[in-house]
Amino acid sequence: MQRTPAEGIISGNKVNLTCITSGGNPVAILSWNCSGTNTNYTTKNTASHSVEFTVDQSDNNKICTCSATHPVATYRPTVQTRLLVYYEPGTNPIIEQEPSGGILVGKNVTLTCSVSGGNPLATLSWNCSGIKKNETVEDTASYSITFTVDKSYITKLCTCTANHRISAYKPTVRHNVVVFYSPSDFPSIQQTPPGGIITGFIVTLICSVNGGNPPAVLRWNCSGDTTNSTTDFTANYSVSFTVNKTHNKAICACSGSHLETSYTPVIEHSLNVYFGPGMPNVTPVPIMPWFEGNNTKLKCAFENGNPDATIEWKKENDYVQSIANRHVYEFHNLHSKDNGSTVTCEVYNTYGRQFELVDIIVEYYPSVVVEHTTVNTSEGKNISINCNATGNPIPVVKWIRDASQITGPNTGQSILSLNNIDRSNDSTYTCIASSTSGTYGNLITKENVSVVVNFAPDVTVNRNTYDIEEGKTVKLQCIANGKPSNFVYGWRHMFRDKVIRIFKTNSRILSLENLSYQDFGHYDCIVNNGIEDRQGILNHTNGTEVEVKYKPIFINFNTDLTAKVGENVTIAVNFITFPDINEVIQWTKSTSNSNVINSSNLFTTLERQTVNTTIYGRKVSVNTFGYRSALVLPKFRIDQAGFYSFQVNNTVGGNNITLRIVVSDRPQPPTHLFASVIGSTTVTLAWTSGYNGGNEQTFIISYWEINSEDRRSKNVTELSQKKDYEEIIQHLLPSTTYVFVINSTNVEGISDAVNNTVIYETKGISGKHINI
């Protein structure tokens, strides 16, 4: 039998077992009792059979048997082989410490590294120095080391390494020895807040020390709320308490202890407590009340604080400071303003402040205050004058006028009220304040107030004459009475309710010269002294009527009127007059110098009516003495054209106007048309002009051959003062009959066709003509 590999097999690897026998006939038949991959290599003379499989830990010491069989029954040989399987331990090594837990510096400790299982057993080794001992037993590898602990083991790791025939198995395990040792330093104390502590505040003392294993145990000898905030590396133990004056300079001690019994430190801490001074006591010398003009003093005593307190006196905004524990504040020549003031003695340091107040009492004469010594007001207004009096004792106050009491005595104040003021309130008023002092008797103070009553001006207007006629001069005088008397004057001219003129003059006299009808109207004087009346009106007026007498004045008329024959024609004249007209009006035709007599063909009218005109550029309407007179021609005739005069009178005088009626119509047709000379190529026409209709006319001669439509024309312009006309018509044909037509035209149109056509034959014609 052959085995490959021949020695031990590592778990997980394959092993090949081959059974061989030679000879026999036939050759023997071989078989294995171990499972695996079987292969038969038998030849003619040699029987060979192998099995191959992968081994594991369970195959260690396993016996595999090869059996041979043959037809010869007595031939039954067997051959065996025992398997040797190498395998690693199933776990990593472990380390055990004796004694367990922390080890004080200077003490011995034993570390044992062990691991069970594996074939063969693992080999163990340590990296730490000490006494080493192999304690391996049948199925467990064990290796120990013993050494004395020092502080170097605080950070040192002891490592156990395992080795095995299977090279992949090389685990290492580490062990940290917990070393117990005391801190190398004494504890320290930290105070919060640092420095001095204000009484009534909480202080916290923290005792701490670094190092040591375990940390040191700390304790305080001072009472309070304690807190242990020790960590793995630092011992912290605090105490908190509220300090008062008794803790100043007190000693608080912190003591430490440890497993290492030689560690017993004690550290002390002194407290510095800040506290304010005690309540001061102020004593007046002499005892109050005091009197105006006296000298006196105040004394202040108090218990000191830590640090030393400072004294501060305060009277209103007056400070006096001293570092002494007592101080005197002196008053010299007491004044009334000292009464009621408060004096404070204040003692303080950084950590406390106390004070005591003393009210100062000083008697003095009343002090009177009025809002104004002069009050300007105006009629209709209400005023109140407040009189305030201060004093000690408290005074009573009243108002008088001319020794008569107006208001009853009131404490400290009296109000003089004047309602709906008029000029009689203009006067001097006196405020009297009085009080009674136990030392000085009756104390009296007076204050006068002047009330000035201003009032708006009263205005009257006078004039120097009442005989006012055009061309003359009138002077108007404005008289104003008011307060103050610094008047500003103004004048305005009114007609009915319309302002005609504003006179820009600050004069109480208004002179109107060379009067005309335009000066007729009402004149107001406007006065202002800056004072409103009871209705709040600032400008005050009064005035007078200026009724200027004037001859009639013609308004809005046309001197020329055009008319057409047969139409209704009216000539109208508007006029104004003052005084009224005093006789019948007259219309006269100038050409005949005869008065117009009313008839059906011509009559006159007269009626009152509102006449619109302008006065100094302002449009006004005159209705009292406004008239309209008209000349009416119901069916106008040409002989009624011409000039007409209108005359009207009043007591001042008369006025007249001349108007003209001008005919403006179509011209009348020309008459007596005939040929005065007839030639072979010319015809001389003659005619008499009709009335031209009041406008320049033009004569139009039209002519043509009797059987032709080719018409020609010729214009002849009217000549002034000429009635008979002749005109030569040229470029005619001989022995030809022509029709001649004449018309007249102006701006109003063409004349009627009446007897305006003749017919003539040129060259040799007998001269007969036909009028058509």
Q: What are the Cα distances from residue 175, in Å, to 158, 232, 683?
A: 5, 19, 170
Judgement on whether residues 641 and 684 belong to the same structural domain of the protein: no
Q: Give Cβ neighbours of residue 6 (< 8 Å, ≥ 6 apart).
A: none
Judgement on whether residues 681 and 651 belong to the same structural domain of the protein: no
Q: Partners of 647 in the beta sheet?
A: 586, 656
Q: Give Cβ neighbours of residue 460 (< 8 Å, ≥ 6 apart).
A: 478, 479, 542
Report yes or no: 78 and 63 within 8 Å, Cβ to Cβ.
no
Token pair listed for 127: 């990296």
Q: What is the pLDDT of residue 768?
A: 45
Q: What is the pLDDT of residue 771?
A: 44
Q: What is the pLDDT of residue 433?
A: 94
Judgement on whether residues 644 and 714 belong to the same structural domain of the protein: no
Judgement on whether residues 378 and 526 belong to the same structural domain of the protein: yes
Domain end residue (candidates: 528, 548, 568) = 548
Q: For the chain, what is the domain count?
A: 7
Judgement on whether residues 30 and 174 belong to the same structural domain of the protein: no
Three-state DSSP string of 169-195: CCCEEEEECCEEECCCCCCEEEEECCC
Judgement on whether residues 558 and 543 belong to the same structural domain of the protein: no
Judgement on whether residues 544 and 414 belong to the same structural domain of the protein: yes
Domain end residue (candidates: 137, 160, 180) = 180
What is the spatial distance between Cα 386 and Cα 409, in angstroms, rounded to a whole number?
13
Judgement on whether residues 308 and 398 belong to the same structural domain of the protein: no
pTM (predicted TM-score)? 0.47
Burial class from Cβ neighbours inside 10 Å (0-12, 13-18, 19+) for residue 453 reads: buried
Question: How is residue 295 annotated by DSSP?
Answer: -
Judgement on whether residues 404 and 536 belong to the same structural domain of the protein: yes
The CATH number of the domain holding residue 338 is 2.60.40.10
Q: What is the pLDDT of residue 340?
A: 86
Q: Identify the segments of the chain with pLDDT beneath 50.
A: 766-772
Judgement on whether residues 433 and 457 belong to the same structural domain of the protein: yes
Token pair listed for 272: 């510095």
What are the DSSP calls for 407-462, one per residue? S--EESEEEEEE-S--GGG-EEEEEEEEEEETTTEEEEEEEEEEEEEEEEEEEEEE
Judgement on whether residues 532 and 592 belong to the same structural domain of the protein: no
Residue 457's nearest CA partner among 527, 537, 519 is: 527
Judgement on whether residues 167 and 237 belong to the same structural domain of the protein: no
Q: What is the pLDDT of residue 549?
A: 95
Report yes or no: 521 and 542 within 8 Å, Cβ to Cβ.
no
Q: What is the pLDDT of residue 55?
A: 93
Domain end residue (candidates: 314, 330, 360) = 360
Q: Which domain holds residue 210?
A: 188-274
Residue 332's nearest CA partner among 292, 293, 290, 295 is: 295
Token pair listed for 659: 């108007």
